[in-house]
């Protein structure tokens, strides 16, 4: 006969149910933040390397995406707030000890930088879309050019940004890296959740975000050289991402009992199938194999690995958010 000394009811599901505080908008916001950060990292880095003419999609065209999706991500973030009408108060204070506060500031700064970056290339984008017969995008940027001519202050801001673009590229690169890491740090600062309580999460989310950016750029690019380059880059990014994932679980398994229990959710627990089959299998291993085949000279439709990587990045964040909410520091019953 075994007797248990129960010092808390947290481990009894019926008595202490798991609470899902965050809805679907938060993992989607984390995915959008990582994707936007990755695109801007490549755009600014290649511009600083003097590759803007060699890789126009990377430096100019793909940068149309970040301001659109960041604005969408901000809407998801505001929608998850309990008091939505007061979201602006996050930007009336600076509290460095609050990850949510400096994250909101970072996202806001990156949004304006991401907006000014493609606007500073308006003439180049008009020429690019005109040559490729993209009438809708051509018409849109022609309208943007007329708007900047009519609204003088907007035109002067964009002109000043373009004049010192190299300096702003460095600033944008730094803030984009911070944004990519922040999407993981936002979770890792919550020590009450053992799944999130790891320093690896920041660099893992940054790596995943940059990987999704390579997928987006290779998908929209019609330049074979550019696609081949991003296939090669993502090949190594996936290896790094898988290493970080295994390192995260290895640290958990070697850690205290509560982290071992947390890791078990992915090794025989509720998240085993979806994590290893859908995310790792379909979102990492399968596109990695397809990229190997492409690098070996086989013809692989670029949309297939790109879509799988983007889908895998989103699923990864959904799993991490929901599994992290379930994980908690529950006392272990004492057996006599």
- DSSP state, residue 90: G
pLDDT value of residue 335? 40
Q: In which residue are the tokens 């002067």 written?
A: 156
pLDDT value of residue 43? 96
pTM: 0.87
- DSSP state, residue 335: E
pLDDT value of residue 92? 67
320 CB-near residues (< 8 Å, 6+ apart): 27, 187, 195, 196, 201
Residues 180 and 23: their CA atoms lie apart, in Å, by 21
How many angstroms from the chain centroid is the CA of residue 204?
A: 10
- Through-space distance between the first and last CA atoms of the chain, rounded to whole angstroms: 9
pLDDT value of residue 143? 92
Structure tokens at 256: 């205290």
pLDDT value of residue 233? 94
- DSSP state, residue 301: -
Residues 288 and 294: their CA atoms lie apart, in Å, by 10
> Could you tell me the CATH number of the domain that includes residue 161?
1.20.1630.10
Residue numbers of the chain with a pLDDT score lower than 50: 6-8, 13-18, 331-336
pLDDT value of residue 88? 62
**Do 245 and 87 form a contact (C-beta atoms < 8 A)?**
no
- Buried b / exposed e across 12-25, counting CB within 10 Å, b at 16+? eeeeeeeeeebeeb
Using alpha carbons only, give the angle 17, 19, 20 rounded to the nearest 5 degrees.
Answer: 140
Number of domains in the chain: 1
Residues 140 and 335: their CA atoms lie apart, in Å, by 70
User: Domain residues for 30?
Assistant: 4-335
To 10 degrees, the CA torsion angle through 62, 236, 41, 320? 90
pLDDT tens, position by position, 92-151:
666 666 666 777 788 888 999 999 999 999 999 998 888 888 888 889 989 989 999 888
228 CB-near residues (< 8 Å, 6+ apart): 294, 295
């Amino acid at each position: 006969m075994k007797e248990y000394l129960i010092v808390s009811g947290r481990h009894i599901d019926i008595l202490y149910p798991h609470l899902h505080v965050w809805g679907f908008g938060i993992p989607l916001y984390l995915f959008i933040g990582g994707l936007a950060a990755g695109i801007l990292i490549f755009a600014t880095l290649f511009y600083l390397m003097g590759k803007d003419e060699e890789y126009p999609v990377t430096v100019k065209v793909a940068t149309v995406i970040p301001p659109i999706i960041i604005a969408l991500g901000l809407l998801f973030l505001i929608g998850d707030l309990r008091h939505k009408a007061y979201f602006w108060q996050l930007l009336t204070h600076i509290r460095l000890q609050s990850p949510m506060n400096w994250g909101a500031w970072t996202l806001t700064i990156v949004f304006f930088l991401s907006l000014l970056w493609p606007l500073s290339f308006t003439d180049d984008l008009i020429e690019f879309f005109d040559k490729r017969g993209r009438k809708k995008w051509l018409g849109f940027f022609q309208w943007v050019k007329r708007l900047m001519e009519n609204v003088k202050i907007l035109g002067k801001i964009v002109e000043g940004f373009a004049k010192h673009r190299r300096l702003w590229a460095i600033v944008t690169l730094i803030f984009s890296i911070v944004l990519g890491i922040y999407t993981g740090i936002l979770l890792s600062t919550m020590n009450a959740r053992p799944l999130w309580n790891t320093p690896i999460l920041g660099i893992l989310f940054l790596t995943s975000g940059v990987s999704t950016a390579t997928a987006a750029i290779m998908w929209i690019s019609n330049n074979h050289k550019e696609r081949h380059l991003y296939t090669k880059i993502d090949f190594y990014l996936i290896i790094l991402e898988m290493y970080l994932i295994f390192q995260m679980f290895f640290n958990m398994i070697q850690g205290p009992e509560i982290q071992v229990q947390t890791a078990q959710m992915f090794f025989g627990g509720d998240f085993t199938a979806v994590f290893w089959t859908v995310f790792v299998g379909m979102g990492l291993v399968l596109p990695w194999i397809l990229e190997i085949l492409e690098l070996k000279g086989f013809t692989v439709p670029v949309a297939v690995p790109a879509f799988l990587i983007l889908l895998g990045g989103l699923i990864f964040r959904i799993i991490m958010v929901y599994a992290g909410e379930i994980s908690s520091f529950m006392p272990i019953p004492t057996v006599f």
